[in-house]
Structure 1
Amino acid sequence: MMRSALVTGGSRGIGRAICKKLAFELGYHVLINYQGNEAAAQETLTMIEEGGGTGEILKFDVGDSGAVHDVLASWSAAHPDAVVEVIVNNAGIARDGLFMWMTPEDWSTVLHTSLQGFYNVTNFFIQKLLRKRYGRIINMVSVSGVKGTAGQVNYSAAKAGVIGATKALAQEVAKRNITVNAVAPGFIRTEMTKEMDEKELAKMIPVNRFGEAEEVADLVCFLASKKASYITGEVININGGIYS
């Protein structure tokens, strides 16, 4: 049996760090999902293989239900001995701007990727997890989804929606030894934040610095492990104390 973990948006940043942790620390065969940057996804896979782990790349847009089903069904048929135990819904997109000027496309694209993406990927596997009576579903949200952030009404709404889904689904599947949790990062040093004024923003953060992707991945790895079997329906903030 090939124990596997799927990480959506796993090619860069927090997603890449999560892929590596799941491979190296929990021994999972990691399915690295990406949509556009094949080179980055391949680089993540190379890092895993050079470190002694195993994985493969799956290309699909999480917001496209047909693409998600086709790729995952094809992979499942090709690997009848594999079982996906861990799902990390990490893929997301930001289209920031004041709500008064927000276009319908910027609204729907962000919600479709985070919220519809959560449904498309998780729903494909949920019956399999229930039959196996084991699973870990970890949804990457944001401090914006917990408290709301000006200029990110769409992103805040999308992540808040995933938080609500996390809490509800956790109650539905807990009896089958499946946990569902959300991780809400604050300012994390990645490509998405490299244009920000880190020195100035750090003054707002009690620990006085941005977080590292590896720190977020450590938390996700713990939630994906058997050590976290009594934690479910939770939203865990990892933000240096900026909001709790």
Structure 2
Amino acid sequence: MTNTTDRVALITGVSHGNGIGAATCIELAKAGYDIFFTCWEAMDKWLEIFQKEIQDLGVACDYIEVDFRQPDASTQVLDGVEGALGMPTVLINNAAHSVVDGYKRLDDDMLDDHYTVNMRAPMMLSVEFARRFEASMFTSGRIINITSGQNLGPMVGELAYGATKGAISAFTSSLSAELASLGITVNAVNPGPTDTGWMTEELKKELLPKFKKGRIGMPKDAARLIAFLASEEAEWITGQIIHSEGGFLRS
């Protein structure tokens, strides 16, 4: 299929309904984007239900199951979206790998797993996206990366995660300068602590007083900002790391 519109969005890391990835798919679908998402180890029944939920919003939706630890994953994904829906003009790098480590547990394999998913995959997806975009007829594109505010404070027990996600912030800044002349903006969103299903009740009680807004962040909070950055209204914003944390206090 040859796509001649600019309404195809690629979102990585959509493997359950409670995450930022799923919420972003919904927000972009509401804005009229056809949706192509990646997943890994998701439940087949949920995938079918979620795909239909997106389609019911009046847009096309397809997906691919991919392991970003594999070296050809980025090409596989971009070939998949072009074959199913056409050339995307929006790329959301949301997929992430996180395992508790700390200096006593961190080893080569653990570090490599974090590197391949959190650094290599979004970097290679971004540059291949840009190469294909440059060869297309499009003049406006978006790359939006998800970070975790690594420069705002330590992430104890998450050395590999903090380091690899932190690298994406630096990558965002440099890539934005390279791609500005192509009409591609490159930004990153730090959503702060977000309740995507991983928080225990004990942790929620600990975090809640640190939010000036009086509640813990939800996936839709990040998704709405991502959707704005993908919009035409955000064409003048590039090279930014946006900390959208609801006034979260780290000290």
- Structure-2 change in CA distance of 1:24 and 1:43 (3 Å): same
Deviates more, 1:97-106 or 1:52-61: 97-106
| Residue of 9, 20, 26 corresponding to 2:13 | 9
Indicate yes or no: 2:147 matched with 1:141: yes
Contact 1:145 1:158 in 2 (8 A): no
Alignment-derived partner of residue 155 in structure 1: 161
Contact 2:191 2:244 in 1 (8 A): yes
TM-score for the superposition, normalised by structure 1: 0.90
| Residue of 117, 130, 135 corresponding to 2:134 | 130
1:162 shift after superposition: 0.4
The correspondence of residues 69-88 of structure 1 with structure 2, limited to 5 A, is 69-76=75-82, 78=83, 82-88=86-92
Give the letter aligned to residue 225 of structure 2: L
Alignment-derived partner of residue 102 in structure 1: 106
Q: d(CA) in 2 for partners of 1:196 and 1:153? A: 23
Q: d(CA) in 2 for partners of 1:204 and 1:225? A: 31
Which has more strand, going by share of residues?
1
Deviates more, 1:189-198 or 1:122-131: 189-198
Which has more helix, going by share of residues?
1
1:83 shift after superposition: 2.2
Alignment-derived partner of residue 174 in structure 1: 180
SS of alignment partner, residue 104 of structure 2: helix
- Structure-2 change in CA distance of 1:69 and 1:168 (3 Å): same
- Structure-2 change in CA distance of 1:113 and 1:126 (3 Å): same
1:74 shift after superposition: 4.9
| Residue of 229, 233, 237 corresponding to 2:235 | 229
Q: How many residues align?
A: 241
- Identity between Structure 1 and Structure 2 (%): 28
| Residue of 35, 40, 57 corresponding to 1:35 | 40
Gaps of 5+ in 1: none
- Structure-2 change in CA distance of 1:74 and 1:224 (3 Å): closer
Deviations 1:13-51 (A, max 9, x none): 1100001111112x1110011121143333321211123
Q: d(CA) in 1 for partners of 2:77 and 2:233? A: 31
| Residue of 205, 209, 226 corresponding to 2:211 | 205
Contact 2:10 2:81 in 1 (8 A): no
Contact 2:210 2:249 in 1 (8 A): no
1:184 shift after superposition: 0.5
Contact 2:115 2:164 in 1 (8 A): yes
Indicate yes or no: 2:47 matched with 1:46: no
Q: d(CA) in 1 for partners of 2:225 and 2:139? A: 23
Give the letter aligned to residue 41 of structure 2: G
Contact 1:170 1:233 in 2 (8 A): yes
Give the letter aligned to residue 176 of structure 1: L
Gaps of 5+ in 2: none
Alignment-derived partner of residue 191 in structure 1: 197
**CA RMSD for the aligned pairs?**
2.0
Alignment-derived partner of residue 226 in structure 2: 220
TM-score for the superposition, normalised by structure 2: 0.88
